[in-house]
Amino acid sequence: MAARHVRRPMNEPPTVPAHIAIIMDGNGRWAKERGLPRREGHRAGAESVRECVEACKQLGVRYLTLYAFSSENWSRPANEVSALMSLLERFLEQKAEEMMKQDVRLKAIGHLERLPEKTRRRLRSAIERTAGNTSMTLVLALSYGSREEITEAARSMVHEAVEGRLTPGDVTPDLVASHLYTADIPDPDLLVRTSGEMRVSNFLLWQISYAEIVIFKKFWPDFAQADLFEAVDEYRRRHRRFGGL
């Protein structure tokens, strides 16, 4: 294989992924194994979130996107949905100070209008408070579904076309990307999923086109900093070719 065809030369020093996206799966099974209610699995999962943000900060990862609540998760029992919302509210309230100390900016993607008013208020407040931080961006995917995101982007482009601001020739991959929730966020380099499932579950379908995927068998509440470091080591070992030779 000729080295000139490889976008990142083999002898280039290994890099840290600029953007890691995580499907945090297995909270329910973790709780079930211990005879605990599912909400205890989510509570333990929130602890793994804290560890993960710290590990990314240490490594110099610029963006971390966490799939915290999918558009499909609304169909779970009402008590589980409300436990997840309360957990999120508590996380936002307790971690805002920590994010300020760590220079972490918070962002959220998804159909945020569907979130309960209190959750939205806490979210807005943490986003506004951390808006000036620049070391790292933590992106929470909430009430998020990739097909919905792409559909909304298509709808908004059709609106622009109807208003005469867009012609068919203007529609390029860059234009589509600029209409997604993630318009100002680089695509993930690394996608991590826990609990051994080999699925992408309607998460960032457009954005993960070239991401390396690393799957862990363990459940999300057991995911610790060492696992994040392991995923990054695996990413560094992979030979990224972007579809070329």
Site residues (CB under 6 A) for ligand FPP?
A: 24-29, 42, 45-46, 49, 66, 68, 73, 87-88, 91, 140, 220
- By C-beta, is 39 or 153 nearer to ligand FPP? 39
**Identity of residue 181:** Y
Residue 133 bears catalytic tag: no
Residue 73 bears catalytic tag: yes
Using CB atoms within 10 Å of the CB of residue 135, give its burial: 0 to 12 exposed, 13 to 18 middle, 19+ buried.
exposed
Residue partners of 25: CB distance under 8 A and separation at least 6:
193, 194, 195, 197, 201, 219, 220
Give me the sign of the Cα torsion angle 28, 139, 81, 43.
positive
Residue partners of 205: CB distance under 8 A and separation at least 6:
146, 147, 150
**Active site (catalytic) residues:** 25, 73
